[in-house]
Every structure is written in structure tokens, then in C-alpha cells.
Structure 1
Amino acid sequence: MKETKLHPPSAFEPQLTNEVLEYFAVPMLDIYCDVHEILNSENDNNYTRGTAIFGRTYEQFKKLIKSQECPVDVHLKDESFRFVFQIGYAQIGFCKGDFTDPKSLKLRKYTPTNYDLFQVDDNQPVIWKFILNEPKSDEEEAFVEFVGFNLATVPVAYWRSNDNLDGNKLHLVDPITPESIHLDAPLIGDPDEDDLQDEHLDTKFK
């Protein structure tokens, strides 16, 4: 893989600190471990485990958001299986897959009008995902990545739940300072379904 230069999420949205990202990533990993410990019978497979992981993560994230215990304000924008929540100006979801292959993540396509609070360019993330990364061998451990993609679904922001970056050749550069603009409080409303690309809702991690 070609070396990719990525910025920390907080370079684009200051509220996306390590503490905030861990608030969601740690329970996500706990669910993964619990499911693999419980669903290990001869009647279980990647499908049964993947469905359970998705369902439990979906329910846990709703509880985390509604508990109001997050270090920053979190707003649940879409409670369907599309599941979108907002921190600051970042609209966030979760999935499983390889962030270097955005097509595998089935990312939604947003139009720039959904993000008219920013002067959108190739360096501006508009789609944010917590991504479960399963171990590829018994020696590895699962981890969670938090990735921001631009309008072309190219990764431009990156965070990982542990510091041992050994899988993808990433180079985190110094935080950038976005151009300062005066904004009112973010508008919290239901997503405009007309601005989403049609897609199959895959409610399982396979």
C-alpha cells in the first residue's frame, strides 16, 4: 500500500479527542470479545457472530449517546440501522471492514450541501466511521479505527485504539488548523434521505 498522510481527527473537529473516541471504541471492542467468547459452538459461524456484533454495537452506541455521559455533547441524528450521530460538525457511523478499501465499507455518498458549514475541499473529511478491525491471526488483537473520509471517500483523518501501527503504512502528520470561520450552533435534524446514495443496509458483520 502506498504511504498515506493522515491527520488526527481533532485537527478537523476539536471535540474528537482521544477521550471521546475511546468512549465509543472501548465498548465496541468489549462487544467483539464477548460475542466471540459466547458464540463459539458448532452452530456458530462468522454470520451469527457478525450479526450479534452489529446488533449489540448498535444498541450500545444508542445507550452511550442517550446516557449523556460522553465528555462532549452527542446528538443522535438517525436511529435506524443507518445509524448516524453527531459530535460538533462530524457526522459519525460505525462498520467493519478495511478503511483502505472504502467500497468494502459501503460508505454513503453525501452531497456538499449537507456540509455547507465548511468550505469543502479534498482535505476536508465529511464522512466519519468507527471501524472494527478483526485480528488476522491468533497473535493479533482486534482494534478500532476512527477514520474521516473526504467527498471522494479518500481517508484524510485517522485514529487507532492502540498505538501499535503495524498493518497499514500510515504516517500521521502534524495537526492542521482549518480556516477560521464564524458559525452558529450546528443544526441537529434528521438527515435528508435525498442526499444519500441508495444502498443496501447490511445489518451484520460477516
Structure 2
Amino acid sequence: MNKSLPWQHKAALTEDRLNTIARAFLEVHNGVIERLSTSDDCNYTRGATFFGRCRNRLISMAQSSSYPWLTLGAGGMDITCEISGVPFRFFRDDHESPKKKGFWRRNASDQLFAPDDETPVIFRFIVERPVNDENDPEIYFVGYNSTEIAVTEWRYGQVVVLQSLDETIPAAVEQQPAHIGVRNDENDRQSDTGTMK
């Protein structure tokens, strides 16, 4: 099944808003790696700190007037925020095969029933652990249908590839050869020094 982009289902889920939240997760990740790289740290201490700091960052952002589109739905340990009324949660997991406890648990703000299999009913930000400390994590925003199948997916930093929606092949455009000339060294020296003769 081809996955659509989140804003094709919910107009509130703009790429700019998703970028804002993903950048916050990336900043937290980089801060944790920078500060917790001692011999006393391990994946557990970094993971717990990452979760706690992301949770606090989202709460702070939701309470800030800088992000009027972001609100706090539930501020407990399984924090739920909303982007203009669309609820989401975040996890540090594998976006293709999530395994974290509570990942599929729905709360009162999730849409419980959908009219079809292409409609997402739960949304999750998923931060995938990088292979090593030199790499950044991959951050996804995924919408799942009522049977827990991903139907919409966006990745932070993803390069958008344009594709044709029909079979029409654009007409070829003839391009003239580039103008080539001999440089005049005297004029180049004058423009480099900013003086005119």
C-alpha cells in the first residue's frame, strides 16, 4: 500500500508544523548525546533522559504562545499533544515494526472508527535510534488505520521527489549553447579591487 502524506488526510498536519516538532526532538537528542557520553552512561540513561526531555519540551512548547497550533491533550507519562486538534504521541522505536509497550494503546482523543482502511486513526512521531553516536536519528510521523497498518508517513529531512500524475510526457525544450568568451585580465583586476580606470 502506498503511503500518502499526513496533510493529505488532516490539513492541520502541515510540513512546517511537523518540522518544528521533529527539530525539537533532534535538538534534545543532540543535547543528550553531548552531555551523556561518560563511562557512567549507557543506552538506558540516554534513552530515559531523551524521553523525559522530549516530554518536557513538548509540554513547554504547548504552553508557549509561539505555537498556538500545539496543545497538550494529556500531560502524564504517556503524553498526548494535539496539532490543531489532531492528537499524537511520540516513541523511540522502529517505524516499520513498532514494539514499544503502549504504542498501539488508544486514548479518548484518538479517532476510534474510520470510514475506510485508508483513513488514519492514530498518529505517532517515531524517533529511530541512530546506528552510532555520530549519526542523527531518523524521525518519522506515521498515521495508522484501525487495523494498525501505516497509511500515511512523513520523514524529517526527506527530499520530496516529484512524480507525474498522468502519462503525459512534457515536450522537449531546446537549449542554446552557453556563451563563452575570453576574459579580459585588466577588467577582472579592476573589479576585484573595486577601482575603475
Map 1:9-48 → 2, pairs under 5 A: 9-48=6-45
Tell me how far apart the structure 2 counterparts of residues 145 and 158 of structure 1 sit (CA, whole Å): 7
CA deviation after TM superposition for structure 1 residue 140, in Å: 4.0
Structure 1: 4+ residue segments shifted above 6 A: 171-174
CA deviation after TM superposition for structure 1 residue 100, in Å: 1.3
When residues 164 and 140 of structure 1 are mapped into structure 2, their CA distance, relative to the original with a 3 A threshold, is: farther
Letter in 2 for 1:115: Q
> Is 2:54 aligned against 1:57?
yes
When residues 92 and 38 of structure 1 are mapped into structure 2, their CA distance, relative to the original with a 3 A threshold, is: same
Contact in 2 for aligned 1:7/1:173 (Cα 8 Å):
no
> Is 2:163 aligned against 1:142?
no
Letter in 1 for 2:86: A
CA deviation after TM superposition for structure 1 residue 89, in Å: 4.3
Q: Secondary structure at the match of 2:117?
A: coil
Tell me how far apart the structure 1 counterparts of residues 109 and 61 of structure 2 sit (CA, whole Å): 29
Overall identity of the aligned pairs, in %: 27
> Is 2:2 aligned against 1:5?
yes
Tell me how far apart the structure 1 counterparts of residues 34 and 110 of structure 2 sit (CA, whole Å): 41
Contact in 1 for aligned 2:117/2:146 (Cα 8 Å):
yes
When residues 111 and 63 of structure 1 are mapped into structure 2, their CA distance, relative to the original with a 3 A threshold, is: closer
Unpaired runs of 5+ residues, structure 1, are 166-170, 175-206
Question: Which structure has the larger Rg?
Answer: 2
TM-score by length of 2: 0.73
**Which of these residues, 149, 158, 176, is aligned with residue 154 of structure 1?**
149
When residues 114 and 133 of structure 1 are mapped into structure 2, their CA distance, relative to the original with a 3 A threshold, is: closer
Could you tell me which residue of structure 2 aligns to residue 85 of structure 1? 81
RMSD over equivalenced CA pairs, Å = 3.0
Unpaired runs of 5+ residues, structure 2, are 165-197
Tell me how far apart the structure 1 counterparts of residues 8 and 115 of structure 2 sit (CA, whole Å): 15
> Is 2:117 aligned against 1:122?
yes
Could you tell me which residue of structure 2 aligns to residue 94 of structure 1? 90
TM-score by length of 1: 0.70
Letter in 2 for 1:131: I
Cα deviations by residue, 1:56-111 (Å, 9 ceiling, x for unpaired): 000000011110312x5222110001111122342101111112113346323448
CA deviation after TM superposition for structure 1 residue 14, in Å: 0.6
Greater relative contact order structure (CA < 8 Å, 6+ sep)? 1
Q: Secondary structure at the match of 2:124?
A: strand
